């Protein structure tokens, strides 16, 4: 009788622990994938510019990492004079300022070696003699920032 009770207790413990171990394993695999994506991702703002009194500014960002970055419209863009920049929301084609849109320069996706041209439409026109700050944060958290003057 004691042996039967011991076997039943062991079976109950195994049935309770195994699903928890399985869920933990799935979480660890998912966390590992996220970390691997961040390690193999990297972006670089290769150029940023604007024209005095223009209603837009431009930045070219290259994927210099080893993995594809998607979705591009989930990227965060911060822009403005160095002392008062703000987050600029994605707006797509024909958006109302402040907003930004993008064009892929040499690919159909933001894959390694591809460059994205971001067109930023700030709330007020850009001005010569002003130092601007642009920061791009990819959906997976990888960032790059640049100061530039007109």
How far is Cα 72 from Cα 86, in angstroms, rounded to an integer? 19
Does pLDDT of 47 surpass 70?
A: yes
pLDDT tens-digit series, residues 100-142: 999 999 999 999 999 999 999 999 999 999 999 999 999 999 9
pLDDT tens-digit series, residues 53-79: 999 999 999 999 999 999 999 999 999
What CATH number does domain 43-149 carry, 1.10.3710, 2.60.40, 3.40.1130, 1.25.40?
Answer: 2.60.40
Contact in structure between 14 and 6 (CB atoms under 8 Å)? no
Contact in structure between 144 and 76 (CB atoms under 8 Å)? no
How far is Cα 110 from Cα 101, in angstroms, rounded to an integer? 14
Two tokens at 102?
């993008």
């Amino acid at each position: 009788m004691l042996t039967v009770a011991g076997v039943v207790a062991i079976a109950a413990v195994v049935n309770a622990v195994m699903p928890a171990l399985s869920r933990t394993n799935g979480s660890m695999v998912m966390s590992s994938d996220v970390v691997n994506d961040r390690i193999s991702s990297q972006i670089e703002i290769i150029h940023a510019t604007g024209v005095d009194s223009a209603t837009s500014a431009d930045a070219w960002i290259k994927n210099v990492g080893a993995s594809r970055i998607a979705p591009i419209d989930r990227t965060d863009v911060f822009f403005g004079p160095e002392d008062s920049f703000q987050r600029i929301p994605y707006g797509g084609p024909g958006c109302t300022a402040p907003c930004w849109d993008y064009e892929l320069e040499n690919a159909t996706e933001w894959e390694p070696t591809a460059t994205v041209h971001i067109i930023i439409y700030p709330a007020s026109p850009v001005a010569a003699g002003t130092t601007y700050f642009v920061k791009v944060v990819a959906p997976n958290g990888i960032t790059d920032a640049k100061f530039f003057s007109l």
